[in-house]
Amino acid sequence: MPYSLRPASNDDRGAVENLVFGVLAEYGLTPDPSGTDSDLHDIQSTYHDAGGAFDVLVTSSDEIIGTVGLFRVSASICELRKMYLAPSARGQGLGRRLLEHALERAVALGFSSVVLETASVLREAVSLYERYGFRPYVSEHLAARCDAAYILTLSPMK
């Protein structure tokens, strides 16, 4: 089945929340719509208008099967957020595709570093991040459901 990436809009909020919250529950993690996940209430202003990006991976019928966000932390740093895949989309290299897309977007948006917070129970994701050169670092604050933070210094596009 062919897949494509497109910018998310506020109209996608329900489908995005369903996917994100479903994956969190699958791994025994608790969604936090009034805290950590409140960024999904207004995707347009939280991501796009603030200098970041939030994209969705969709099927040919526009079903959202993946999400990835870049939240602007500063002029040079963005945070990789909400990178999730539906169970039916796993094992096909789509996580790698989402991550590569996000890193390319981060460079295009002018960021020089990407940080992320994650839960070690998301073993597949942690392994993917490490394969792409993310290294552990000490974050000033971790979201309640996260127990690890990573950073990657980006190389400019040639």
What are the sequence ranges of the domains in the chain? 3-153
Over residues 102-116, the pLDDT tens digits come to 999 999 999 999 999
Per-residue pLDDT, averaged over 127-137, amounts to: 94
Per-residue pLDDT, averaged over 1-17, amounts to: 93
CA-to-CA separations, 146 to 15, 96, 98, 118, 124, in angstroms, rounded: 23, 21, 20, 5, 15
Q: Identify whether the C-beta of residue 148 lies closer than 8 Å to the C-beta of residue 135.
A: no
Report the mean per-residue pLDDT for the chain.
93
Quick one: pLDDT at residue 157? 56
Q: What CATH fold (topology level) applies to the domain 3-153? A: Aminopeptidase (3.40.630)
Over residues 33-70, the pLDDT tens digits come to 999 999 999 999 999 999 999 999 999 999 999 999 99
pLDDT at 156 over 70: no
Per-residue pLDDT, averaged over 16-41, amounts to: 94
